[in-house]
Chains A and B, each alone.
Chain A
Amino acid sequence: EAQVTQNPRYLITVTGKKLTVTCSQNMNHEYMSWYRQDPGLGLRQIYYSMNVEVTDKGDVPEGYKVSRKEKRNFPLILESPSPNQTSLYFCASRFAVRGPQHFGDGTRLSIL
């Protein structure tokens, strides 16, 4: 089954403790993105990647890192999480620049 898999689905942690949210897709898609969703603000892009070893900042990249060492994986790293990064995070992938987006189920992060 074609899917985008994120882990963990839920995480409560404390300020400053490094964490990684994994994202994997099995559709051989080149384009992958990370978004955060906050009430009243909609989805905002954090980082995106157009291929292996090619990543770029989105609209809200501060406090986040990503890597794309393999085509299928696109982890999101929070080196020193802070409470303002408490949010619902989505990973997404698509085959072509303008193709349909496939979203993961979301990761709800709470930073205390």
Chain B
Amino acid sequence: KNEVEQSPQNLTAQEGEFITINCSYSVGISALHWLQQHPGGGIVSLFMLSSGKKKHGRLIATINIQEKHSSLHITASHPRDSAVYICAPFNTDKLIFGTGTRLQVFP
């Protein structure tokens, strides 16, 4: 069993829809990263959080350390949000990466 599980693996949405991507992990962590990988391959860090909730524009990330679960929400999705979203818990001194959720948002 993978240490990090993301769901769904693939997601298709219409522009304007509310999106939720889930991440469950089995190891103890001190923080968790959400990353975005664009079709061209580049990876950017969206959030790093260790408790509660963070918001940046239309993106919201939440984490429940006790339940070992995090979610990434996108409000009012847009075609430019189409990308792969990767959950990466931080365990001891390294990141453990999920395999990602591929999101496609159609106009």
Contact B90 A98 (CB under 8 A): yes
Q: How many residues of B contact A (CB 8 A)?
A: 23
**Cα distance A90–B41 when bound, in Å?**
10
The 0/1 profile, CB within 8 Å of B marked 1, for residues 76-112 of chain A is 0000000000001010100001111111011010000
Contact assessment for A40 and B94 in the assembled complex, using a CB-CB cutoff below 8 Å: no
B45: contacting residue among A40, A41, A58, A100, CB under 8 A: A100
- B contacts with A: majority SS: strand
A97 to B43, CA, bound (A): 19
From B33, B41, B98, give the contact of A101 (CB < 8 A). Answer: B33
Name, among B4, B30, B93, the residue most crowded by chain A CB atoms within 10 Å (CB to CB).
Answer: B93
Pairwise interchain contact B31-A44, C-beta atoms closer than 8 A:
no
Give complex CA distance A100, B34 in Å: 10
Asked if B52 is at the interface (CB within 8 A of a chain A CB), the reply is no
* Contact in complex: A102, B93 (CB < 8 Å): no
Name B41's closest neighbour in chain A (CB-CB). Answer: A106
Complex CA gap A98/B86 in Å reads 17
B82-104, CB < 8 A from A? 86, 88, 90, 93-95, 97-100
Report how far A102 CA is from B40 CA in the complex, Å: 16
Residue of B nearest to A88 (CB): B41
A19 within 8 A of B: no
A45 in contact (CB, < 8 A): yes
Residues on B with beta carbons closer than 8 Å to the beta carbon of A40: 99
19 A-B pairs within 8 Å (CB atoms) are namely: A42-B86, A42-B97, A42-B99, A42-B100, A43-B86, A43-B95, A44-B97, A45-B94, A97-B93, A98-B90, A101-B95, A102-B45, A103-B35, A103-B42, A105-B41, A105-B42, A106-B41, A106-B42, A106-B43
Query: Which are the 5 A-B pairs with shortest beta-carbon distances?
Result: A103-B43, A43-B97, A42-B99, A42-B97, A106-B41
